[in-house]
Each structure stands twice: as structure tokens, then as C-alpha cells.
Structure 1
Amino acid sequence: MALTEEALMAVPGLASRWVRLANGARAHYVTSGDTGPAVILLHGGLPGSSGTAGWRFLAPYLGAQGFRVYCPDQPGFGLADTREEYWPQGPHSHVEFVHDFANALCLDKFHLSGNSMGGTTAANYLVAHPERILSYVLIGTDIGDAAPLEKRPPAAAHFEEYDGSRESMRRLMASIIGRDAAVEEDLVEMRWRSAQLQKESRAQWWPTQLQYRGTIPWEDSDLQASMSTKGRIERLEIPALYLYGNDDVLTPSVWGHEQEDVLPNVQFFYPEGAGHQSQTDLPDLFNDVYTEFFRDGRVSRATADRAGVSKRRPELTHLVEQRVAP
């Protein structure tokens, strides 16, 4: 294996860093780029997830295009602080973490994106702190109770529970990543070690995540109210894109349709050949989408067509370049 001394994949253009948060926790993140607008990218929530695992293709590219990119390991994942007082208590603690992380790095305004659980964190963060967000992009996620939770479809394919073995981690990666070449041995090893490190802390987060998704009833009505997105997220006019892979087997793309129906100010895309971790399946496409959107405030016509711009409703013309009549 070719992991670093911190048990990370060695990714050109991606540097490992640490920062102390105001609450005393040691936060790990990977970063790319030294100047330009700030971008925070939030990883998903399956065992072994981390900033490196989720964004190893996109982050270095954005850094080379003139952005300062930060990919933190959220509590319970990656190399996050494993001391019990910093274990995550649910999605709300990830929102608090992002706020503390941005403050620690003096990021007053930034672009924000998240995949899967990271998208959930992003959705809740932008509802809580819209004044901090320049624009945002979601990938295959949940947006809370703004979408009808009873319509959330089951997984399109059977997922084996992670059993703690390297082989189980390999199978899990193969289910969310459709591009075989992206399931490298170093990735499996890094994620397996991270999952072992965070086994106890991640277990604290999962029950409240199930409450947020409507799988089990909320135990705390105040927390439920604070995490509600209905009547809030759909009213935001922050420039936003949402990419939902047509080949997502964790949650089929019809869930994206349900969310599109309640997010009138967000431009949706359904890229072909993209699974649950779409940015890993189609790195060249996602590199172009993110660079154009964060740089220009909209996506070019050619890139929008490649990305499967939604045909379910009229395009948002301020977010997608329109065809010029001959």
C-alpha cells in the first residue's frame, strides 16, 4: 500500500492539514489551491467516508483553476477527533461543525457542496446560515422534510451491511462507484482504516440521521423543528445546482424528481453513467460543471447538455446558458 503516514491516499495537488476548532476539537481536512474564492466540499456518510475519499478528483482540479478548496472530515469520519466529547450526535452536529470549521479558517463567504450525507449537511447549513453561501451544489442527497419523505424510494439494489472487513469495504465501494478503475486498493485500505478508527463515534450519529430521514420518529421536538427545511430551503434564491446520477443504486433518481418538484430555484441535472458518488464516476464532467458554475455563475450550454440538464421543467436561464437562435 502507498498510504501516507496519516493513512491517507497520496493525491497530487491535495494537502493534509489540521485546525483547532473553538470547541477544542482537532479537525482534519485536505485542501487545494492558495488563492481565489473559497469552496467547502462535504463528503458522504457511509463507513470510511472522508474528504479525501469523496473529493480526490474534484478538489485538486478546482484548486488548479483558481479556487481555495477545503474538504473537512466531518465528526465520526476520516481522521476527525475521536475523543468522546466530540462524537457526532446527529445531522445537527455536522451543521455546527461546518460553522465552526469555516470560522476557524476565517471563511466568511464560500461556495458549498455536498454529496449524500454531505449534501444533507449542506442543505441544513445553508438554511441556517444563508448569508455565508455564495452558491451551492448538491449531489444525490436528502433535503429534509421539504420533500415528501414518505415518497423516498428504497435502494434500487441490495446493500450488504459493512462487516468490518476489507473485502466488505471493497464491495461497498463497488456499489456506490460505477467506475471500476476508481475503486483502487489504496482507497479500500484508507476507508477501511478510517472505518475502524471511527466505529464508535459514527454509531452515535446514525440514530438521529434515521430520525431526520423520517425512518423513525423524532425523540426531541425542538431538534426536529430546528432541522426542518420545509418552507425555508425552497424560498432561498442563492444560485444552486443539483446533480442526481441516473444510475444511483442507493436511492433511485426518482427521488431527485421529488426534490426537483419542491426546489423551484435550483437547476437540476440527471447525468447518465453516474451513480451515488457521481463526482467519482464522471470526474471530467463534474470538474467542468463546478468550475463554470463557481467561476461564471452559470453552466455553459455544452456542459449542461453533457450533464443531462433536466427536461422536466423549463431551464433556469440565469443558471444555464441558452441556445442562440440561428
Structure 2
Amino acid sequence: MTEHISIVTDVGSFDAIAAGPTDGRPVLLLHGFPEAAAQWEYQLGALGANGFRVVAPDQRGYSPGVRPERAAEYAISELVADVLRIADELGWARFDLVGHDWGGAVAWWTAGEHPERLRTLTSVSTPHPAALGAALRSDEDQQLRSTYMRQWQEVGTTEQRMLADDAKAIRRMFEYRVPQNRIDDYVRRLSEPGALTAALNWYRAGRPDGKLGPVAVPTLYVWSTEDVALGSTAAFDTENWVTGPYSFQMLEDLTHWIPEEAPEPLAALLLEHLRAH
């Protein structure tokens, strides 16, 4: 059974959903853009039913209680700090961390900078940041896939374009692979005053300070062949940026929206990974 909880930290209150016994092994799930914690509904239930304590927060900007206005306040250092704030408030000294899309990027950085806090790492869709950075420098295919990141830097007009005509542009991002009622919920959330700007500030915050090196935490990376944003070059290079136990799972004929497009296979992969470590 899914619970709705609030996680009160020094930067504000994060809305979250949770499942599983309170004394179960802790797992934190991080969503991506333009979604919310609800993207993990199936995996939350599956892991909770298997005895894990699973929490999925609406992250910075997506939770109304943590929605700063300046783009700089969405720097990766703040997003990683939020992960630790949430874990500390939940009383989790060590935990398993799972992220998709932007949540995957935050998960990689957390694993690299605070390995002592994580039992395992799972990134869905998102390659290691160094692998993606190398692809952006040398791979024309990845450069073309990532042109939207530059386009979304334009404040105001980007929001207007995305929300026009009942948020047609946002709805089309999902490639008809996410349930309609879930898309309606995401659009409703992002239509709230300031919500879409806050979500886009993740892209506008600027590059991280420093570079992320290899990750030593036991890692599962799940990538899909039809992902329009993240190509194979960075996906295949990611193994070179993990020094701990590593599993790469490539899902054929699936798009970027793996948690909702293939909820059961992903839950099975997560359970296998968690039980192995």
C-alpha cells in the first residue's frame, strides 16, 4: 500500500510516496524530467511487497515546499545535498539509490561523492556523467540528441512553448509510451505557477564544479535502444567509469520512459540487483 508522506528538511518539505515495512532495507527512488515521484508507482509497490522500505520524493522544484527561484539553487551540489538531507531525515545511514533521467544523474554524483552512504546504485537511462560528457565532445549522434538542452536555456519563451495548447509539447515528449492519466497528472503539476521554470532550472543551473571520477559502488545501469535523448556511445562507455561490481542491461525496442513503459521488467532487474548485494 502506497503512503503519502512529507519529509521536512532544513531547505523545506519534500512531498514523497512510500511503501514497505518501516524497518525494511531502505531504497530511495529519484524521478526525472518532466515527471514526479509517481513515475515509480509500480516499482515502489513491487519492492515494498518484497520487504524493502521504499521512498520516492518529488525532488527540488517539483515539491512546492522546496521551490527556490534562482537557477543556481538547482546546481548538482544542491541536488546531491537534497538526497543526503532526505536520507538523514529518514534515519538512513546507508541505503540503495535508484534514479531515472535527471534522477539518474543525481544518483551517479551521489555515488561518486558519498560512496560510504550507498549500498548500491541503479541508474535507468542515464549514463555515467563522464561518459556522457565524452560523447558530447566527440560523438555527432549524441550532440544532435542533446540539442534540446541548449534550446531550453531560454527563460520564459521555453515555458510558454511547452505549456501552449494544453501542454502539447510536454505531452509529445512521452512518445505515447506513458499512460494518459499519468501524463495528465504531470501536466497539471507543471502548470502550477513557477513549477515548470523550477523543473527547467535543473538544465539552467550550469555545469557542475569539478568532474566525477569512477564509481566504486555496486552498480546496475539499464538503458533502452530507442532512447531519443541518450545514445549508445555513452551507454557502452559507462562500464569504464565503474570500478565496483557492474551490470549493464540493454532493453530492446523501449524508449526513454522505461519505469512506466516496462514497469515489471525493471522491477525484476531492481530486485535481482538489490538481492545480489
TM-score (norm 1): 0.71
Q: Retained in 1: the 8 A contact 2:2–2:17?
A: yes
Counterpart of 1:253 (choices 232, 237, 250) is: 232
Counterpart of 2:188 (choices 193, 200, 206) is: 193
Asked if 1:57 corresponds to 2:42, the answer is yes
- The aligned residue for residue 163 of structure 1 is 162
Report matched runs for 1:25-44 at 5 Å.
Answer: 25-34=12-21, 35-44=23-32
Give distance in 2, aligned partners of 1:38 and 1:275. Answer: 28
Q: Retained in 2: the 8 A contact 1:140–1:243?
A: yes
How far residue 168 of structure 1 moved from its aligned partner, in angstroms, is 2.7
Task: Report the CA distance shift for 1:28/1:257 in structure 2 as closer, same or farther (over 3 A).
Answer: same
Asked if 1:89 corresponds to 2:74, the answer is yes
SS of equivalent to 2:47: helix
Task: Report the CA distance shift for 1:96/1:114 in structure 2 as closer, same or farther (over 3 A).
Answer: same
Q: Retained in 2: the 8 A contact 1:126–1:133?
A: yes
SS of equivalent to 1:270: strand
- The aligned residue for residue 67 of structure 1 is 52
1:103-141 deviation line (CA, Å, top 9, x unaligned): 111111110111111011001111121111011111111
Q: Retained in 2: the 8 A contact 1:140–1:245?
A: yes
Q: Retained in 2: the 8 A contact 1:112–1:133?
A: yes
Give distance in 1, aligned partners of 2:124 and 2:189. Answer: 23
Give me the identity figure in percent: 21
How far residue 204 of structure 1 moved from its aligned partner, in angstroms, is 3.3
Q: Retained in 2: the 8 A contact 1:41–1:114?
A: yes
Give distance in 2, aligned partners of 1:291 and 1:128. Answer: 25
Greater share of strand: 2
Greater share of helix: 2
| Bigger Cα displacement from structure 2, 61-70 vs 84-93 | 84-93
Report matched runs for 1:283-302 at 5 Å.
Answer: 283-297=263-277
How far residue 80 of structure 1 moved from its aligned partner, in angstroms, is 4.8
Task: Report the CA distance shift for 1:59/1:258 in structure 2 as closer, same or farther (over 3 A).
Answer: same
Q: Retained in 1: the 8 A contact 2:219–2:242?
A: no
Give distance in 2, aligned partners of 1:85 and 1:101. Answer: 21
Larger RCO: Structure 1 or Structure 2 (Cα < 8 Å, ≥ 6 residues apart)? 2
SS of equivalent to 2:48: helix
What letter matches 1:284 in structure 2? E
Counterpart of 1:276 (choices 251, 256, 266) is: 256
Counterpart of 1:183 (choices 179, 182, 191) is: 179
Give distance in 1, aligned partners of 2:45 and 2:62. Answer: 21
1:217-236 deviation line (CA, Å, top 9, x unaligned): xxxxxx522xx10xx324x1
How far residue 255 of structure 1 moved from its aligned partner, in angstroms, is 2.3
How far residue 145 of structure 1 moved from its aligned partner, in angstroms, is 2.9
Number of residue pairs the alignment of both structures matches: 257
Give distance in 2, aligned partners of 1:121 and 1:167. Answer: 28
